[in-house]
């Protein structure tokens, strides 16, 4: 087990509105992390900050002890499904092969080996028979399997999944969780933004409780308690009061 992500003092705001506030976080390999918090808690923003695709206000983030730009190949991202143009003329295999792009030099073409790896990923997700289908012609569960297959095909060591179970059938959900646990067993690291509190115990061995601030994180068995959940989902007013109280105490 080693430290995969080290976040120090991360703050992000959009148009003067603070989304993430002074986050300190160490993510360790071989775990499946559930990132839990209410809407607007900054879960996706945390992902995008670590992935280096949005501007951050303050803070230092290291991934595998380096800047994320240097380790892009090892990091795979499965964004929320509503960010996808489903009418796009792309087939399943086209999309999964995208996972090979970071392994290629500028003018290098995809070869047989890349196709073999892509097909293995499809096989693993049980959708090899859909390889030539257009992405919009699939069910919600099948679509999500395609994007997971792309992440697998990338042969990454660190995975970010943003709400992967929205609009997905139960069979697919279980299949994906099974695969994530296998990956963790190979000492890879997975972070999942998740909404269904009832399944957290089963799905994740670590949780991160987030609501603009980091409330707490650690082993699910220790950290995912009724009290902590209540604190995470407490109305924003109450949090402000808490912060205000701390401020007054300090004065």
**Interatomic CA distance for residues 60 and 140, integer angstroms:** 37
Sign of the torsion angle spanned by Cα atoms 191, 1, 205, 126: positive
Query: At 82, phi and psi to the nearest 5?
Result: -75, 0
Q: Tokens 């501007």 — which residue?
A: 55
Instruction: Provide, rounded to whole angstroms, the least separation between the CB of residue 12 and other proteins.
Output: 16
**Interatomic CA distance for residues 116 and 131, integer angstroms:** 13
**Interatomic CA distance for residues 70 and 93, integer angstroms:** 27
Q: Tokens 């409330």 — which residue?
A: 215
Instruction: Provide, rounded to whole angstroms, the least separation between the CB of residue 74 and other proteins.
Output: 11
- Asked if 72 interacts with other proteins (CB under 8 A), we say yes
H helix or E strand, kind and range, residue 227: helix 226-233
152: helix, coil or strand? helix
Q: Which neighbouring-strand residues pair with 8?
A: 60
Task: Identify whether the C-beta of residue 46 lies closer than 8 Å to the C-beta of residue 128.
Answer: no
- Asked if 166 interacts with other proteins (CB under 8 A), we say no
Nearer to other proteins, 78 or 208 (CB): 78
Instruction: Provide, rounded to whole angstroms, the least separation between the CB of residue 193 and other proteins.
Output: 15
- Asked if 107 interacts with other proteins (CB under 8 A), we say yes
Q: Tokens 């007054």 — which residue?
A: 248
Given 94, 119, 169, 173, the residue binding other proteins (CB under 8 A) = 94
Nearer to other proteins, 69 or 250 (CB): 69
- Asked if 207 interacts with other proteins (CB under 8 A), we say no
**Interatomic CA distance for residues 205 and 220, integer angstroms:** 5
Nearer to other proteins, 89 or 235 (CB): 89
Instruction: Provide, rounded to whole angstroms, the least separation between the CB of residue 84 and other proteins.
Output: 7
Given 84, 128, 200, 239, the residue binding other proteins (CB under 8 A) = 84
Instruction: Provide, rounded to whole angstroms, the least separation between the CB of residue 72 and other proteins.
Output: 4
Q: Which stretch binds other proteins (CB under 8 A): 27-35, 51-59, 200-208, 235-243?
A: 51-59
Nearer to other proteins, 82 or 250 (CB): 82
Query: Which letter does DSSP use for residue 89 in this model?
Result: S
**Interatomic CA distance for residues 187 and 133, integer angstroms:** 33
Q: Which stretch binds other proteins (CB under 8 A): 32-40, 76-84, 180-188, 202-210?
A: 76-84
Query: At 120, phi and psi to the nearest 5?
Result: -60, -40
- Asked if 62 interacts with other proteins (CB under 8 A), we say no
Q: Which stretch binds other proteins (CB under 8 A): 92-100, 178-186, 191-199, 205-213?
A: 92-100
Chain contacts with other proteins (rule: CB under 8 A) = 51-53, 69, 72, 75-77, 79, 83-85, 88-91, 94-95, 98, 101-102, 104, 107, 110, 134, 137
């Amino acid at each position: 087990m080693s430290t995969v992500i080290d976040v120090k003092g991360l703050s992000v705001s959009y148009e003067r509105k603070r989304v993430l506030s002074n986050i300190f976080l160490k993510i360790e390999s071989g775990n499946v992390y559930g990132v839990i918090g209410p809407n607007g808690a900054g879960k996706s923003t945390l992902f995008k900050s670590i992935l280096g695709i949005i501007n951050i206000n303050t803070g230092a983030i290291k991934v595998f002890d380096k800047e994320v730009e240097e380790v892009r190949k090892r990091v795979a991202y499965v964004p929320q499904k509503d960010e996808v143009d489903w009418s796009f003329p792309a087939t399943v295999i086209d999309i999964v092969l995208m996972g090979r792009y970071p392994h290629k030099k500028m003018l290098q073409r995809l070869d047989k080996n890349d196709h073999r790896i892509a097909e293995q990923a499809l096989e693993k997700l049980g959708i090899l028979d859909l390889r030539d289908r257009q992405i919009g012609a699939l069910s919600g569960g099948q679509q999500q399997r395609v994007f997971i297959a792309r992440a697998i095909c990338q042969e990454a060591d660190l995975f970010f999944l943003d709400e992967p179970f929205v609009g997905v059938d139960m069979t697919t959900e279980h299949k994906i969780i099974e695969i994530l646990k296998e990956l963790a067993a190979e000492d890879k690291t997975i972070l999942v933004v998740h909404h269904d509190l009832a399944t957290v115990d089963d799905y994740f061995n670590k949780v991160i409780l987030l609501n603009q601030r980091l409330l707490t994180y650690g082993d699910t068995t220790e950290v995912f308690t009724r009290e902590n959940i209540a604190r995470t989902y407490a109305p924003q007013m109450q949090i402000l009061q808490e912060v205000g109280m701390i401020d007054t105490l300090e004065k």
